[in-house]
Structure 1
Amino acid sequence: MSETSSPAPATGRTGSVERNTAETAIAITVNLDGTGTYDVSTGIGFLDHMVEQFSKHSLIDVSMKIDGDLHVDQHHTTEDSAIALGQAISEALGDKAGIGRYGHAYSPMDETLTRVALDISGRPYFIWNAKFTQEKLGEWDTELIEHWFHSVSQSAGLTLHCELLYGANNHHICESLYKGFARAMRIAVERDPRKGGAIPSTKGQLGG
């Protein structure tokens, strides 16, 4: 689904991934300096909704088109969407000069509260402390949600902690986690003018 206005021409930090395998055909473009516009079509309605939430609340423009083997199941489409999105974000970040690097967010949604904290460290590490009591949200298998976050963490080089503090409604839990991830990413990818383009690490580089 598309945002009411199409993503603006890329003038900031952008990354693109195109990949065709026997399981998925993917084309993804991101603009870290965007306005949160999106054009998302994965073939899985609830996944579309979550990627749109990520774009809207991170202000990262996202164009994502996936043709996957959904006649088999949703695993490949879900996993590959996260891998390619993480790769595009990593490309757009470049050497990560001047970025905030760290981000965190508490996201209340009615009865639900989640916490997401991340470090664009270049050293992927993932902690998940959340669970769902339904097998599906829409047609999307809820067991794949944790796997999506793990895959984007690995491919983007993020230390990523996702935690459900409390909540009961499965839709609210999932959406709160995606919005928290978006808001944490917005903080982490933004350039801090006080850093003067310096790499945010005493080592002089991130990763490794």
Structure 2
Amino acid sequence: MNYVMVCTKNRRLQTKVNTLQRSRKGSLLFISRKIIRKAGMHMNKTAKKIWDITTTALVVLVVILATLLVGARFIGLTPFTVLSGSMEPTYHVGALIYVKKVDPYTLEAGDVITYSISEKMVATHRIVEVVPDEEDPEVIRFKTKGDANEAEDGSLVHYKNVQGTPIFTIPYLGYIANYIQNPPGTYFAIAAAAIILLLIFLPDLFEKEKKETDEK
């Protein structure tokens, strides 16, 4: 009889121990899941913050480039890429110069002008001499020379071919402008803009879809 009672007590004690162990395991599992969930939420917030910073930086970069390459035209400036070293060290190869229209009659020796050589080609050189027309005093031409050139240019520049005078320059930006303005750079720029827009709106679309799924 005593043996039976001892066994029964031992079983009850073991049952309590097992119950306590299961309870502890359940509590630990619950705490672990809670910690993992919080860590996951923290990681999601961190990843979203990094994503937002990255996309914002890309948008700012695109806006700056668009302003420098296109927006300048709205304030009367025309950008041109320096393709040769004839004006070194004043204007370096690959720089982007911003040209403002000017009254040709106000120009004098020492001024730098940007002028048309042909329908699709322009040059930027310094005026060496203003040459009035012998027959028509209202017509003037300019003798020009590149700062890095030893000799003056072979032909005179007619005043009607003057595009303007450079007012400031940005080094190396001309490489980007020249690349974007010509295929395949143009297609690459369009594709890059589309990808950036997709990156901006994609997380919101996923989040909206997730909310709709959770509600169902």
TM (norm. structure 2) is 0.22
Higher RCO structure, 1 or 2 (CA under 8 Å, sep 6+): 1
TM (norm. structure 1) is 0.22
Larger radius of gyration: 2
Per residue, is there more helix in 1 or in 2? 2
